[in-house]
Structure 1
Amino acid sequence: MNSTAAHRLLLVHAHPDDESIGQGATMAKYVAEGRGVTLVTCTAGEMGEILVPDLEHLAADKEDRLGEHRRGELDKAMAALGVTDHRFLGGFGTYRDSGMKWHADGHAVAADDVHENAFWNADLTEAATHLVAVIREVRPQVLVTYDEFGNYGHPDHIQAHRVAMYAAQLAQAPSYRRDLGEPWEIEKIYWSAISESRMREGLRRLREAGDTTTFEGMDPDGALPPMFRPDDDISCEVDAGEYVEQKLEALRAHATQITTDGPFFALSNNVGAQAFGREQFRLVKGTPGAPLDPETGWESDLFAGIPGA
């Protein structure tokens, strides 16, 4: 963590790879600009799918060593983005990936069998207190996490949302856990999101290029999953198009979870660096800061309105 940075961003994610998919370009951009970036990952992703045949022996129902492997993948991804301060909530192994299954309606839900140490089963106050310690140490002005549905229903994403939002409240209470440091109020909190119009634009360009398999079943003019939000919900778009290659390198690092012929690489190839490097957010605490984009009315910087931005 660049403790001397005037601007400090804290991101709270559920599993290794979530950060690179959601905000990889923004993270790389802010590091390059000298801003402080801290990533807290809540689990090691032990229940993730393994896309590398030679590593299938690491699966939870075999050797159960995927979490340690994904820890290494996360290290490589953060090196690609330039992020030097990344931590696991409560320390590595404190909380286990809860797993998931797909609901008939197309969103994720908790798996039938959940490990006793699963993040989904975590005591909320205990987990939030681990994060309070980080908040009071790092003293970020901006927090990024998921919305109340975890963007697509994954139980660990939902729990990460709950933990992050509760920790932000506890961290600012002077009388709460004085032993963890001086109270700190986070000025702006954002939930990750994807602009519906941006997604429709990308889908349309994919289909026009003859790609019918990337995001198969999604119609540029049809219904979209809940992670894609109406533009009226979007508050900020960070244009980090210059850092798309760093984002792609971070995605490549998560090789057990993401393939180079998968949807993210198809987007980068067909939609272009400018679109792939634009990441959107919903402001849920704080006041939008100028300048706002005259076309969209969105902020262009998560730190907009914060002194020195």
Structure 2
Amino acid sequence: MDQSLLLVHAHPDDESINNGATMAKYVARGTRVTLVTCTLGEEGEVLVPELAHLAADREDALGPHRKTELDAAMKELGVTDYRLLGGEGHFRDTGMAWHEEGHAVAGEVVRDDTFWRADLTEAANLLVEIIREVRPQVLVTYDQFGGYGHPDHIQAHRVAMYAAALAAVPSYRLDLGDAWDVAKIYWVGMSEGRMRASLRRLREAGDTTSFEGMDPDGPLPPFVTPDHLLSAVVEGEEFADAKLRAMRSYPTQIEVDGPFFALSNNLGNEIWGSEFYRLAKGKPGPTNDAGLETDLFAGL
């Protein structure tokens, strides 16, 4: 059976942060890996001072630049099949604001052409066609809260889940291809145990600014998943360097020279090479001693 893995993300860089090692590992073993990115991230913060003019409130030219960053990141991961949902610029980044409770929300003003405002069925149909074309056994996306509440992450979750359901209906939109039922769907997760251990190491090393306000022994934000809810881990330590190179391909979005990156690199590849998932659809396959699948295609 030819393996096919489909990932649905909101903005360029989300895929490398969440699934870079997974993508590189499956590419290396011959799996067809397809990435669908829903927006160009036009509203993102620009971390490079000399590129600040690209920001949405100035020249509004960040989107095309982030596409070049996406191109570079995919080269680092070996992914050749990556697409923008509906084509470049079809859906605009919604942007976000921070809620007083510490998670993202939509801003007070949301443009009509943003992904958050998209008609769910229209957006899902664009993905249905891709699903029926590449016929993935496994689909990866966010949970219902989009990890930390970003409206585009939430919408990507909704579109991915709805499209997977519609794609499996034999009588639905025959013009979009033959029906295909995705066997397993995973939501991105972050291990609470690993996160607490990493925070503890950072604090013990004197780094109090990375993940500011987060206590290794205190409450953690919603993107951190309790370990008992996790279903799978992809151990891709040998691909951690490729993941970090992919993340470095996004200088406007990811600052890799800070103390967190410096320290985490010295801790070895376990931080960047291990990526965790929650099984949202399908039957779990064989597990390791920790009760986790080590292959997203396990049991198929």
Q: 2:293 aligns with which of 272, 294, 299?
A: 299
TM-superposed deviation, 1:99: 0.4
Contact 2:124–2:162 (Cα < 8 Å) also in 1? yes
- CA change 1:160–1:263 in 2 (3 A) is farther
TM-score using structure 1 length: 0.95
Look up the match of 2:53.
57
Instruction: For residue 227 of structure 1, give the secondary structure of its aligned residue in structure 2.
Output: coil
Distance 1:264 1:161, change over 3 A: farther
Match of 1:231 among 207, 213, 227: 227
Which of 130, 140, 144 lines up with 1:148 in the alignment? 144
Equivalent residue number for residue 79 of structure 1: 75
Residues 199, 263 of structure 1: alpha-carbon distance in 2 compared, 3 angstrom cutoff: farther
- Deviation string 1:245-268 (CA, Å, 9 cap, x unpaired) is 100110010110001124762463
- Structure 1 residue 213 displacement after superposition: 1.6
> Residues 97 and 156 of structure 1 are in contact (CA less than 8 Å); yes or no, is this contact kept in structure 2?
yes
Task: Quote the sequence identity (%).
Answer: 66
Aligned counterparts, 1:1-309, within 5 A: 6-262=2-258, 265-266=261-262, 268-290=264-286, 292-294=287-289, 296-306=290-300
Task: Report the secondary structure of 1:228's partner residue.
Answer: coil
Q: Report the secondary structure of 2:190's partner residue.
A: strand
CA distance in 2 between partners of 1:262 and 1:13 (Å): 25
Change (3 A) 1:116 1:263: farther
Shift in Å, 1:100: 0.3
| Contact 2:244–2:272, Cα closer than 8 Å, also in 1 | no
Give 1:270 shift: 4.1
TM-score (norm: length of structure 2): 0.98
Structure 2 runs not aligned, ≥5 long:
none
SS at match of 1:206: helix
Q: Is the 8 A contact 1:46 1:60 kept in 2?
A: yes
Give, in angstroms, the shift of residue 207 of structure 1: 1.6
Q: Which runs of 4+ in 1 moved over 6 A?
A: none
Contact 1:128/1:163 (8 A) holds in 2: yes
Let me know the Cα RMSD of the aligned residues.
1.1
Residues 1:270 and 1:104: Cα distance change in structure 2 (over 3 Å): farther
Deviates more, 1:210-219 or 1:279-288: 210-219
Q: Deviations over 1:191-216 (max 9, x none)?
A: 00101011111111112222222111
User: For the residues of structure 1 that align with 2:259 and 2:139, how far apart are their CA atoms?
Assistant: 27
Equivalenced residues, count: 300
